[in-house]
Amino acid sequence: MMNKIKVYRRRVKKLNEALLVSILANNKSYFSLMNQFNTFESWIRVVLEGR
């Protein structure tokens, strides 16, 4: 049972990374967004919160 959970978490992590990469690739205003926010972490937080 624990192994299934680990595999699931790994898949979710890979899916999230792929999703993030696709968002970055498709977002033309990515660099202007990066200029608005001080750190990459705060930008990620904004993306995840949907603001």
d(CA 48, CA 51): 8
Q: What is the pLDDT of residue 13?
A: 80
Q: In this structure, are residues 40 and 20 in contact, taking their beta carbons and an 8 Å threshold? A: no
Q: What is the pLDDT of residue 28?
A: 57
Q: How many alpha carbons lie under 13 Å from residue 44 in its C-beta half-sphere?
A: 8
- Quote the tokens at residue 18: 């792929």
Q: What is the pLDDT of residue 33?
A: 63
Q: What is the pLDDT of residue 45?
A: 78
Residue ranges of the domains in the chain?
A: 2-49
Which is more confident, 37 or 3?
3
Q: What is the pLDDT of residue 31?
A: 61
In this predicted model, what pLDDT tens digit does every residue of 8-36 receive, in sequence order? 778 778 877 877 777 776 665 666 666 66
